[in-house]
Amino acid sequence: MAPAGRDGVTAFRFVDDLFLGARRVIAQMMGAFTAEHVGDWAVWDATARINVLHRASDATLDTLPRTGCGKSRSGSNPAATACSP
């Protein structure tokens, strides 16, 4: 299990179609998550519309799991989210 992040946070969820709905938002958030090493101390997931994600580049989509998206405490993710493999 990863060590707790700031203020003891170890997991969070975005329930907002707009979070992964615009390339500029994805790029900004993944840049911030990378800079803060979020994937080292937390897991996260998000809901997203497939018609938006299908336009994202492979490089953008590859960034999501590197920042902690879709990882679970046990190492597998049974939930179907935008971050699921």
27-54 per-position pLDDT tens digit: 899 999 999 999 999 999 888 777 777 8
- Which residue range(s) make up the domain with 51? 11-66
Question: How many domains does the chain fold into?
Answer: 1
Element spanning 43, H or E: strand 43-46
Assess if residue 71 is contained within a domain. no
Assess if residue 77 is contained within a domain. no
Distance separating alpha carbons of residues 15 and 63, to the nearest angstrom? 19
49-76 per-position pLDDT tens digit: 777 778 888 888 888 888 998 875 444 4
Nearest one of 44, 50, 48, 40 to 70, comparing CA atoms: 44
Assess if residue 46 is contained within a domain. yes
